[in-house]
Every structure is written in C-alpha cells, then in structure tokens.
C-alpha cells in the first residue's frame, strides 16, 4: 500500500527481488559494485536518490561520483514511474471500494423498499379480492331480488286476469244451482230423473266451492303482491299475515297446522308487497322446518310505543348455535343446492330494516325457532 500522501522509500517501493535486479543492472553499467540502501553507511561513497524533494534512498559504492550520480538519477527516474503507477492504482482501488460500499448500501435500501412495496402490493391485492367478493355478492343479490320481483309481478298479473272470469263463473254457478232447484220442483213427484238432479246439484255445489276457493286465492295473491296499492301506503299487517298464510297453505299437499293469534293493530305505512314477501319467507322457513308432527304459531300485537310485533314460532328442528349468526347472510343456506336461494331471511331483514324495524331469530336446536319482527308505526298510543 502506498497512499499519495505518504512519504516514499525506495526499499518499500520495490520488492527485494526487484531491488536485487536493479542493483545488478546499476553495478554492471557502473563497472563496479553498487548497492541501494535506505541510509548510507559510508557517507563519502553514497549519493542520494531524490524524488519530489525527498531523499527516497541512497546509491552506495566505490564508483566515481559522476557514475554514482548517474545511477542515482536512473533510480529516481524509475521511482517516478513506479510511484505514479502505485498512487494511481491505490487511489483507484480506494475510490472503487468506496463507490462499491455506497452502492451496496443503496442496494440494501432498495431491497428493503422493494420488500415494503411487496407487502403493500399484497395487501392491496387482498383488498381488491375482498371488494370483488362484495361486488359479486351484491350482483347476485340484485339478480335474485329482480327475479323475485318478476315472479311477484307475474303472480299479480295472473291474479288480475283470473279475477273477472272467476267472478262470473261463481255468479253463474250460483244461478245454475237455483235453476236446478226450480227444475226439481217443477217436475212431477215420480219422474225418473230424481237421482240425476240430486247428483247435478251436488256437482254444482262442489264447483261453486272450488270457484270460491279460486277467488280466495286470487284475492290473497292480490293482497300479497299489492297490485292495487301504491308502493307505500297504510296497510293492515294482520290482513297481510292472513293472506300470506293462505298462500303458504296452497303450496302444501296437506294443510299445515298453523295457529294464529292476531290482535288488533294500528295501520302501518309501508310497502305491502315487500312486507308480504318478508312474512312469506319467514313462514316458508317455518313450514320447511316442521315435520308432520310440528306446529306453527303466528302472533301479532303492538306495544305502548306503537310498534307492531310479529312472532312466527315453529316446533321444528331449530337452528344450530354456530350458524345462528349467519342465517341473515346472503346466500347462506343449509338446504341442498337448488332447493333454496339462501336469500329468504336476507330479503326479510332488508325489508324490515327498510321500515326502520328489527328482526331477530332465536332457536333452541331440537325444540324450535322463533322469529320476531318489530315494526315501528310512528304512532305512540296515548
């Protein structure tokens, strides 16, 4: 190592081999023994080798002074180039090392920030995925609710179209029954058609009962879909409950054991069709929950704050505790694929919340389930 700030010494600048070689060359040129030393031992036989104002060594030997001086100049001449090379090489090495170290530090800093960026990118990706899930769920929900609305409108349309024909069918059947009665009276007592007429009357009575049932279903459908109502109107919750129960019953092969205990309620300003749908969904769940032995009980009432309370209780299998929190989640269902959308209670909850109300599900597995709906009417009782 030789820094440009340091003093130069010939014996350090050259290796022992190189020094030997230089001494031999100088001796050959001088024609007598010359040696290169860092300090003279015989002053009168030594000449300094000067470089950059410093004496870097001595040429010593018995040669004439002029020869020694030339040898010293030659050594200084060599020193000039060796020093120049060493200074440049060392300075270059030092600055390269400094630069390399600075680069390494920058590299470490870069790696660190790259790692941070990666973490940031990961968390962003996670958030994007979450948002995509939310959007997908919302889209599906929108699709399902649009489908439900379409079905409701279809039902309302059908109900409206059937209403008129069923009206005159009922009326005509009533008149026909009266005519048959008149015919029976007008005939002599011993006519041969006695059994035919009796049978005719029974047929007409049966048809009339059937037509009346159709009319009732149509009325319920109209109430359920509120085809005649504006979106929001004052509606009777009890009427909605009764119509919905009838609709649920018509979907069953054998009538369900549904007990009702409805008490007089204040009118509710609400969206009848959606409220009907909400009650229907809750009832439909209860219907699917009970076995042949089970019972459904529907109660309504109001409290002193003018809130309408609806309870739908069943004695079915109940909902396990670990999934009770999720029953209102969209697309959550325990039923086999294809038999339910998983949106029933979600729609019910959304409707109740749109009416500033609350819905709650309590269940004891194996004993049954109770769904409670509270709907504020905005009217306090005095």
Partner 1 sequence: MAEFDKQHLKLVFKIVFYGPALSGKTTNLMQLHTLLAPERKGELMVLETKDDRTLFFDLLPIGFRSGSGLDLRLKLYTVPGQVQHDSTRKAVLSRADGVVFVADSQHSQQHNNASTFENLDQNLQKVGIDIAQIPLAIQFNKRDLTDIIEEAALHQRWQATPWPPVIMASAIRGQGVLETFQLLLRRLYVQINPRYGLADRFQIDEATFVALLSRADTETGDVGL
> CA–CA separation, 166 vs 173, rounded Å?
10
Q: At closest approach, how far in Å is the CB of 123 from partner 1?
A: 39
- Cβ distance to partner 1 smaller for residue 99 or 136: 99
Query: What DSSP designation does 336 have?
Result: P
Inter-helix orientation angle 237-250/272-289, to 10°: 50
SS3 66: helix
Q: Which of 95, 136, 252, 263 binds partner 1 (CB under 8 A)?
A: 95
Q: Considering beta carbons, is residue 93 or 269 the nearer one to partner 1?
A: 93
User: Residue 357: what are its φ and ψ, rounded to 5°?
Assistant: -105, -175
Which stretches of the chain are assigned E, i.e. beta strand? 34-37, 46-51, 54-61, 233-235, 258-262, 268-270, 296-302, 307-314, 358-364, 368-376
- Residues 26, 34: Cα–Cα separation, whole Å: 7
On the CB side of 372, how many CA atoms lie within 13 Å of its CA?
A: 10
The minimum distance between CB 55 and partner 1, in angstroms, equals 11
25, 91, 135, 187: residue in contact with partner 1 (rule CB under 8 A): 91
CB nearer to partner 1: give 52 or 126: 52
Q: Which is nearer to partner 1, 12 or 73 (CB)?
A: 73
* CA atoms of 158 and 316, how far apart (whole Å): 34
Q: Closest approach of Cβ 80 to partner 1, in Å? A: 7
List the structure tokens of 144. Answer: 């399902």
99, 104, 116, 171: residue in contact with partner 1 (rule CB under 8 A): 99
Size of the site for partner 1 (CB under 8 A): 20
Closest CA to 204 of 238, 176, 242, 165: 176
Site string for partner 1, 4-23 (x = CB under 8 A): xx------------------
The minimum distance between CB 134 and partner 1, in angstroms, equals 53
Does 1 help bind partner 1 (rule: CB under 8 A)?
no
User: Which among 280, 230, 238 is positioned nearest to 375, based on CA atoms?
Assistant: 238
- Binding to partner 1 by CB under 8 A, coded x per residue (else -) over 49-88, reads -xxxx-------------------x--xx--x--xx--xx
Q: Which is nearer to partner 1, 83 or 225 (CB)?
A: 83
Q: Which stretch binds partner 1 (CB under 8 A): 90-98, 151-159, 175-183, 290-298?
A: 90-98
CB of 91 to partner 1, least distance (A): 5
Residue pair 323/287 in contact (Cβ under 8 Å)? The answer is no
Nearer to partner 1, 50 or 350 (CB): 50
Task: Using CB under 8 A, pick the residue from 24, 98, 105, 205 that binds partner 1.
Answer: 98
Residues in the chain: 382
Looking at beta carbons only, is 53 or 337 nearer to partner 1?
Answer: 53
Least distance in angstroms from the C-beta of 105 to partner 1: 14
What's the helix, strand, coil split of the chain in %, to 5? 60, 15, 25
Torsion angle, CA of 204/206/210/213, rounded to 10 degrees?
A: 110
**3-class SS at 269?**
strand
The contact pattern for partner 1, residues 22-51, with x = CB under 8 A and - = no contact, is ----------------------------xx
Q: Residues interacting with partner 1, by CB under 8 A?
A: 4-5, 50-53, 73, 76-77, 80, 83-84, 87-88, 91-92, 94-95, 98-99
């Amino acid at each position: 190592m030789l820094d440009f700030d340091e003093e130069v010494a010939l014996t350090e600048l050259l290796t022992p081999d190189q020094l030997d070689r230089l001494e031999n060359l100088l001796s050959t040129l001088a024609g007598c023994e010359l040696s290169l030393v860092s300090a003279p031992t015989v002053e009168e036989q030594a000449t300094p080798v000067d470089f950059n104002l410093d004496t870097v060594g001595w040429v010593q030997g018995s040669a004439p002074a002029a020869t020694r001086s030339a040898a010293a100049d030659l050594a200084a001449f060599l020193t000039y180039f060796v020093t120049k090379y060493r200074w440049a090489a060392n300075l270059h090495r030092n600055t390269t090392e400094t630069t390399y170290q600075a680069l390494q530090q920058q590299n470490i800093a870069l790696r660190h920030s790259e790692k941070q960026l990666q973490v940031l990118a990961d968390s962003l990706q996670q958030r994007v995925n979450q948002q995509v899930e939310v959007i997908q769920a919302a889209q599906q929900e929108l699709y399902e609710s649009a489908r439900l609305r379409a079905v409701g409108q279809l039902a309302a349309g059908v109900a409206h179209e059937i209403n008129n024909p069923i009206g005159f069918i009922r009326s005509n059947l009533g008149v026909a029954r009266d005519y048959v009665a008149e015919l029976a009276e007008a005939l002599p007592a011993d006519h041969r058609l006695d059994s035919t007429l009796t049978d005719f009357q029974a047929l007409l009575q049966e048809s009339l009962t059937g037509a009346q049932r159709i009319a009732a279903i149509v009325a319920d459908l109209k109430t359920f879909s509120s085809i005649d109502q504006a979106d929001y109107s004052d509606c009777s919750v009890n009427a909605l409950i009764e119509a919905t129960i009838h609709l649920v019953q018509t979907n069953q092969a054998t009538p369900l054991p549904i007990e009702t205990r409805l008490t007089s309620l204040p009118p509710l300003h609400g969206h009848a069709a959606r409220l009907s749908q909400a009650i229907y969904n809750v009832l439909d769940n209860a219907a699917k929950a009970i076995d042949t032995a089970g019972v459904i009980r529907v109660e309504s009432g109001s409290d002193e704050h003018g809130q309408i309370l609806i309870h739908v209780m069943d004695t079915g299998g109940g909902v396990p505790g670990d999934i009770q929190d999720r029953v209102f989640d969209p697309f959550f269902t325990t039923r086999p694929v294809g038999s339910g959308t998983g949106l029933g209670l979600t729609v019910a909850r959304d409707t109740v919340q749109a009416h500033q109300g609350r819905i709650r599900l309590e269940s004891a597995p194996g004993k049954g389930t109770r769904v409670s709906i509270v709907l504020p009417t905005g009217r306090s009782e005095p």
